[in-house]
A and B are shown apart, each in its own frame.
Chain A
C-alpha cells in the first residue's frame, strides 16, 4: 500500500514567521507532488505542484522536493493568520491516482 505521511500537527507559528510543513512518501516511482490547502468546511485548494528535485517558489510559498530521500516540503514565508488551515500533501501514484496524506493543521497566531 503506497503511503503519504504527514505530521498531523497542530503546527503553531507566530505571524511573520516561516512555517515548514513536511511530507514523506513510500512509492519511489512517484514523479508528481502537490500541496493543497483546506480551510475548515471547505474543499482542498491547489497551491503548489513540483515535479523536479530542488526548490520551486511561488510568492510566499516554496515547495522543496528530494526524490532520493522521498521527501517533500512546503515553506510559507511571512506567515499570516489567513494561512491557518490544513495543508495536504498529495503524490501521484504509479497507478495514476493521487494519494493524499492526512494533512498538517497550521495555526498562525497574530
Chain B
C-alpha cells in the first residue's frame, strides 16, 4: 500500500507571495491533518479534514487555509507569506478520526518551505 505523498518536496517563495501544498493520503484513509514543524516550536497542528469538512483547527492565523477533495486528497494554502512561515509542512492521514481510541496517524515526507 502506498504511503502518504506530498508535493512539492521543496519550495522557495518570496515574502508576500502565496503557496499551495498538496497531500494524498494512504488509500482508504479519509482524514488528513496538516502540521507545521519548526526547530523552535516543534510540531504544531494546523487543521484536520475529514470527508471534505474541516473538523478541527489549530491556533494559526487565517492566512493558513485548507480544503479536501472527494478523493480525500487535501491542499493547504498560505497567503501573504511571512519569513516566519519557513518550516517543514507535514501532512498525516488516518483511517478513523471519529474513534476515541484508534487514531494512528501516518506522516508524509513533508514539504520544506523557505520564505525569503
- A residues bordering B, Cβ < 8 Å? 31-32, 34, 36, 42-46, 49, 51, 88, 92, 95-103
Contact = CB atoms under 8 A, between A and B. Distances in A.
B interface, over-half SS: strand
B66 to A, nearest CB: 13
Nearest to B47: A97
Contacts of B58: 97
Nearest to A52: B101
A99 B104 contact: no
Contacts of B25: none
Interface of B: 33, 35, 42-45, 48, 55-56, 58, 88, 90, 97, 100-110
A61 to B, nearest CB: 15
Given A43-B110, A44-B90, A32 B42 contact: no
A99 B43 CA distance: 8
A96 to B, nearest CB: 5
Given A97-B45, A97-B56, A32 B109 contact: no
Contacts of B103: 32, 92, 98
A90 B43 CA distance: 10
Nearest to A36: B107
B108 A43 contact: yes
Contacts of B55: 96
